[in-house]
Amino acid sequence: MPLFLPHFNLQKFNTLAVPALAQYFVSIKTDDELRDALAFARTENLPLLLLGGGSNIVLRADFCGLVVQIKSQGKEVVNENDEFVWLKVAAGENWHQLVEYSLDNALYGLENLSLIPGSVGAAPIQNIGAYGVEIKELVTELSALNIRSGLSVNFTNESCQFGYRDSIFKQSLKDQYVITAVTFRLRKQPQLNLTYPALRAALADIVETEITPQHVSAAVIDIRQTKLPDPAIIPNVGSFFKNPIIDKLQFEALKEANPAIVAYPAATNWVKLAAAWLIDQAGWRGRVEGGAAVHTQQALVLTNPDKLSGAVVLELATLIQQSVFERFGVMLEMEPRIYP
């Protein structure tokens, strides 16, 4: 039986360093411990907060329920052919350490996703992506426990219903399952994705035929460290807003009024706007409100340098949303989960 700790301070367990208390906290390493934790929550009628690396949550206030930290570990090759290796990874594994492991073992595909904070189990929920790659391209299936029944269920890639920073676990199955393991199909031979302009620019000094996945990973790390603050030094959750997707008609009107607007094709008749550009143009980069701040190098990142309440950060986020909507008619959507 895992140890349930009452009145537990979560400040060291969320990358915004918010000093919120959990009514109960438990750290689990196995599926059986997870089932025990879920049973405890059901018996005590406690709301659940599932915690990986704590890099995609904002604790608005104390959490009156059970916080379950997923710390399961393990990697296993479950299938292999001449071209691919299927690697099953426990949900509690650190994401960036998985990327490093894959490169050390000549398994390719994750390199563009280097240095993204968080855990493996949280990654599919958000369909994390960076520098031209999303994990929906690499996940073949995942295992999860049903929170109510404790039964294990497998989800195929298709049944996860991945979208832009989205999945079924943020939509119709929100708060119904705990992901316990994820299986990735990784290549034995590199097939580099250099479509992202900043990544191509960072690798411009290397002959393209000589670029390796290790080069790509190093370039991504360098770009991220240049643009994004280290949460261990300046508390943050990375990108706070999604890049909004609008239809082409709305985009053409915006572009006429703002010729320098930054945007990318999304799908037929849809355009993805750079949220950082919108926030910057609305005058928010580098501003401080109530102790929370917009990062000077990347307007998508809100920071909590004084380790204040999550409500302070959310107040700043709301002001930014209102300002961008008034200026451009576009409503930004917050990316992290908000509790309670």
Catalytic annotation, pick one of 102, 114, 143, 239: 239
Give the count of alpha carbons within 13 A of 152, CB side only.
10
* Marked catalytic residue, from 111, 134, 141, 335: 335
For residue 110, give the nearest of 92, 131, 83 by alpha carbon. Answer: 131
Identify which of 122, 47, 54, 65 has the alpha carbon closest to the alpha carbon of residue 91: 122
Measure the CA–CA gap between 114 and 222, rounded to whole angstroms: 10
Quickly tell me which residue has 């992506």 as its tokens: 129
Structural contact between residues 293 and 315, judged by C-beta atoms closer than 8 angstroms: no
3-state secondary structure of 136: helix
Instruction: Look up tokens 């989800």; give the residue.
Output: 155
Give the active site residue among 42, 165, 200, 327: 165
335 is catalytic: yes
Amino acid of residue 5: L
Based on DSSP, count helices (H) and strands (E) in the chain, helices before strands: 8, 20
Tokens of 8: 């537990």
Reading the block at residue 244, the tokens are 């909004």
Q: Give the tokens for residue 41.
A: 């929550």
Task: Quote the Cα angle for 158-108-127, to 5°.
Answer: 35
Residues annotated as catalytic (active site), given as ranges: 165, 239, 335
